[in-house]
Amino acid sequence: MFARILKSGTFHDVVGYVTRQFHDPKEYTPDTWRIIGSENIFTTDYAKMVQSFEAIHGFMPGKENPAGHISISFDNADAPRLTNEFMAQLAKEYMEGMGIKNTQYLVVRHLETGHPHFHIVYNRVNLHGKTVDERNNYKRSDKAVKAIKDKYGLTYSPLKDKYEQKKPEFKTKISAAMYGCKSWDEFSRRLACAGIEVKFHDDRDTGKHVGVKFSDGDITLNGSKIDRAFTYRRLNNLFEFNRKHGQRQSNSVPKQPKVTIEYAPAQKPSLVGDVVEATVGAIGNLFTLGPGFDPEEQAFQNAVEKEEAKRKRKSRKI
C-alpha cells in the first residue's frame, strides 16, 4: 500500500479525471472504473457529483483549488483480497487517519492498470464552511498508511521501499550541490554532474515555478518528500540570500593600501665611507660616481692637497 498526495484543483477537473470524463471512451469504457465509496455526495452522474461538491465550496468561494486528490496503490500480491467493499473500508480508515473529517469525499477505483489502486477526491472546505486542516499531510499520510498495513497485514510495497532507500542518496547529493549556490541554473548543473535532473511544478494559471522535484532516471521524488529544506520556496530563498550575501562581501573587501618601501641607509663601514658620503653630499650629488672611482685613493688625494695648501700658507708668512 502506497499513498500519493496529488495536486489539488477544481472539482470539474479532478472529478472529471477520476471518472474518465476527459479520456477516450473507446479505451476507457464504464467497466474500467467504478465508484466504490462516498460521503455526502450525489453519485448518479458526473454533473451531480460536481454540483454536490460546489454546493459546499459555496460557503467559502474564495478557496482556490478546493478539490483535494489522493491516490492509493497496492502491491499485486494483495490483489485477491482487494474487493470493492474492502477498498472502501480502507479509504474510510485512511481519511480518519489523515484527520480529514466532516467533509465530502468520493472514492473511485481504476481497473485498467496493472496494479490495484483507487482515488480519493475530497472537499477542502468542510461541512461547517471552514478549511479542512491539511497541516503535515505527508507525515499524517505515512503514519495512516503504516497503521493500515500493519492492521490488515498488507504488503509493504517494493516501490515504496525503493523510494525510501533512494532518499538518503538524493539528500546527500542535493545538500552538496546547494552549498554556496546562487541560482537554479548553477544548482541544476551541479546536480546534473551527480546524475540528478531538476524538474519543476508550474502554476497552471501563471506558468511560474511553484514546486521542484528530482529524478535520477529511475525514480522521481518531490523535494519536500526528501527534506523540507528542499522545497522550491526554501531553495529559491537560499539562492537569493547567497547572491545578496556574496555581493555584500565583494563590496566590503577593503582596498589594499599602497605599500611604500623605505630602505634604511646601510651602516657606514669605515672612516673612508664617511669621507666619501660627505664629499658627495657637499657637491650636491651633481655627479655620479663611476665604476672607476676609488674612495680610498680620493681620500688620500684630498689629504695631500690639504697638506700642500697648509705648507704654502706657512711659506707666505715667512
CA distance 152 to 224: 29
Contact 183, 239 (CB under 8 A): yes
In this predicted structure, what is the pLDDT of residue 59?
A: 95
CA distance 81 to 313: 140
CA distance 17 to 26: 16
Per-residue cell: 62: 474564495
In this predicted structure, what is the pLDDT of residue 316?
A: 63
Q: Name 125's bridge partners.
A: 131
CA distance 63 to 59: 9
CA distance 173 to 238: 16
Query: Residue 22, SS3?
Result: coil
CA distance 118 to 110: 6
From first to last of its 318 residues, what are the pLDDT tens digits of the chain?
A: 889 898 889 999 999 989 988 888 888 888 899 999 999 999 989 999 999 999 999 999 999 999 999 999 998 899 999 999 999 999 999 999 999 999 999 999 999 877 899 999 999 999 999 999 999 998 999 999 999 999 999 987 666 677 888 899 999 999 989 989 999 999 999 999 888 999 998 988 888 999 999 998 878 999 999 999 999 999 999 999 999 887 666 565 555 555 444 444 444 444 444 433 443 444 344 334 444 445 555 666 666 677 667 666 666 655
Helix (H) and strand (E) counts for the chain? 10, 8
Residues in the chain: 318
Sign of the Cα pseudo-torsion (177, 182, 187, 193, in order): negative
CA distance 165 to 313: 113
Global pTM value: 0.55
In this predicted structure, what is the pLDDT of residue 284?
A: 44
Of 157, 153, 126, 109, nearest to 60 by C-alpha is 126
